[in-house]
Structure 1
Amino acid sequence: MIVPFFLIVNDIEICFHGMARSGNHAVIDWISSMYPGKVDHWNNVAKCPMKLGFRRKSFLIRSHENRSIAEMSTDPLERYHDLYFGKTGKRFNVLLVRDPFNLFASRLQQQLNQGFNPSSHGFIMGHPRYKYGAHEPEKFVGIWKEHAQEFLATTSYLKEPKIVINYNRWFLDQDYRQQIASALELQYSDRSINRVVGLDSAGAGSSFDSFNYSGKGSEMKVLERWKKMIDNANYRSLFEDEEVWMLSEQIFGHLPETECLRPEGMTIP
């Protein structure tokens, strides 16, 4: 059934923000599994056509990876939302943030898996042909910092109801997952928590483990990825930014042993 854009097209909509390799697909898969009806997931939306009519949807999740939320707040996709996605009954803005040590390690490992970054000079953090790939290291780190500031409510680009998710806590803490489910007005369930997303949906599995932990995803060492990158000069260079350390401490607390990555002479209050 085609519905005109000015009538309710989507009963529920989640606008989901995160960095690539933050666990976006795992969390989206978990959210989708708790909804009793059909879920439409528009993955990594960069652009789409304007329309005057849309297929009726019960639950739409549209995800945006590596996007500046400051820029997104004035993007045509937001300014003319109803012409791109159709009018929504209830909308949530969700922001997922993963600690920089494991995020940067997973992102660099993904690039190595794809044959990029053979040397310690001129490395990239994403495929340069993707407009929103944030392939320059400075841009990738800069957008992570922007997301972290929004998480901490230092900025407020995302409209309420805004739900921020600490990926580390989401992975470890069942009570925390229950709180998120409640905030999203969903009946809590963990039946999808052990899936490794990508075998039959969007996502590309783990940068380090591929699909070797399919069916037992909670056993993956996702909070220890950084240890495999300690000797990588490209990786270590990403932590020469004092603000990265400060924001990480505020959100995730001190992550044991990561101080070995701190440049000599840098002190964090």
Structure 2
Amino acid sequence: MYPESLITQFFNEPIGSLQKAKRKLEHRIEDVIRSVSQSHIISTVINQKEIRIIGLRRSGNHAIIRWIEKQQTGEVLHLNNIRVNENPYRDNYENLLRKNNSKNIERWQQEARGFFTKKDCLLYSYEDYSLNQIANRRFEKTHDLYFGKSAERYDVIIMRDPFNLLASRIQQNYRAVKAPQKTDIDLWIEYAKEYLGETEYLKHNKVTINYNRWFNQVDYRQEIASRLNLEFSDDGFHEVSQRGGGSSFDGREFHGKATAMDVLGRWKVFAEDTAYRKLFDNKELLEYSETIFGSIPGTKFLEIS
């Protein structure tokens, strides 16, 4: 006789697939109805500014997002770590329903149905996706239906040097990514090409952010603020965001004094780890790292010749 868990799994999988297909069909019908009945809403500017943020996990995304939120005046909303090719408001609303969580559920329901609240700035972030997943042309056609029309749009791509990024990802056991048949190193190289302008997936006022420089240089942060049309104050820079659990190594221990964290020396923890060092047996990775970040002090011995 088969174990009960296997029998349950056998019957549950088809039901789950049917439910998923049913939900997708319902979403499509809802989208068609809204596109006809809410054409007056869809054509109205909802977001004065929209910033789409792309970065691998542990790239300093949450620190930079928190800093942007603090530089931006007015009504600001951040949709964190959303799924590609989905209406983020509907996704969040349905997640709350599944979890029986009533917190702000009415607001999410209204936004999901297209009754948007006007915002001075809408921020939303994608983590660990391939750029062709994010910059999907078919999904772009649903932009105003799902996010609301925006007066100005920005695409931000964040890069952190691979030595410290991979150390932080290993520390958090975050090696897997959301792009089929790709590794975090594959995505890092893909992002590097976009950062340098070798590819052009991101079409909306692309702003590239070098996390290492952002962390170290106030004049660089001023430059980023200017490019994003923000009123620079540097508020939020010393905070450690609660999102993502804070630092991979320190949690939120250094909240209020973030510059005391050794975020540019995380690689030292794994310097003698053979598996970690083998990650840098990749000529393309090292060449792009050198181009974007220059030489990272002390890391030369990690490179396998």
TM-score clears 0.5: yes
Q: Structure 2: 5+ residue runs without aligned partners?
A: 1-37, 91-111
Q: SS in structure 2 opposite 1:175?
A: helix
**C-alpha separation between the residues in 2 aligned to 1:135 and 1:258?**
30
Residue 175 of structure 2 contacts residue 183 of structure 2 at CA under 8 Å; is this kept in 1? no
User: Whose helix fraction is larger, Structure 1's or Structure 2's?
Assistant: 2
**Among 255, 258, 264, the residue aligned to 1:214:** 255
User: How high is the sequence identity, in percent, across the aligned residues?
Assistant: 42
Question: Residue 26 in 1 paired to residue 63 in 2?
Answer: yes
Q: How many residues align?
A: 242
Q: What residue is the counterpart of 1:40 in the other structure?
A: 77
Match of 2:284 in 1: 243
Q: Which of structures 1 and 2 has the bigger CA Rg?
A: 2
- What are the superposed Cα offsets for residues 22-69 of structure 1, whole Å, 9 maximum, x if unpaired? 000000100110112121000011032475442222210010011111
- Relative to total residues, which structure has the larger strand share, 1 or 2? 1
2:207 is the counterpart of 1:157: no
Query: Given the alignment, which residue of 185, 194, 199 partners 2:229?
Result: 185
Secondary structure of 2:241's aligned partner: coil
Tell me what 1:146 maps to: 190
Can you list the C-alpha shifts for 1:229-256, whole angstroms capped at 9, x where unaligned? Answer: 1122332222121110000000000112
Structure 1 ranges of 4+ moved more than 3 A = 49-53, 132-136
Q: Determine the structure 2 residue equivalent to 1:228.
A: 269
Question: Which residue does 2:54 correspond to in 1?
Answer: 17
- CA separation of 1:212 and 1:82: change in aligned 2, threshold 3 A: same
Match of 2:132 in 1: 70
Gaps spanning 5+ residues in structure 1: where? 112-123, 127-131
Report the secondary structure of 2:245's partner residue. coil
For residues 180-211 of structure 1, give each alpha carbon's deviation from its aligned partner in whole angstroms, at most 9, with x where no partner exists. 1011111111121111111xxx2211111111
Letter in 2 for 1:188: F
User: Whole-Å Cα distance in 1 between the matches of residues 231 and 212 of structure 2?
Assistant: 22
TM-score, normalised by the number of residues in structure 2: 0.75
Structure 2 residue 295 is matched with structure 1 residue 258 = no
Partner of 1:167: 211
Tell me which residue corresponds to 2:93: none
Q: TM-score, normalised by structure 1?
A: 0.84
Q: 1:59 is matched with which residue: 103, 121, 127?
A: 121
Once the two structures are superposed, residues 76-112 of structure 1 have per-residue CA deviations (whole angstroms, 9 ceiling, x without a partner) of 442321121111111111111000000000010011x
Matches of 1:77 and 1:150, distance apart in 2: 20
Select which of 84, 87, 92 maps to 2:154: 92
Q: Where does 1:74-153 land on structure 2 (aligned, <5 Å)?
A: 74=136, 76-111=138-173, 125-126=175-176, 133=178, 138-153=182-197
* 8 Å CA contact retained: 1:52, 1:83: yes
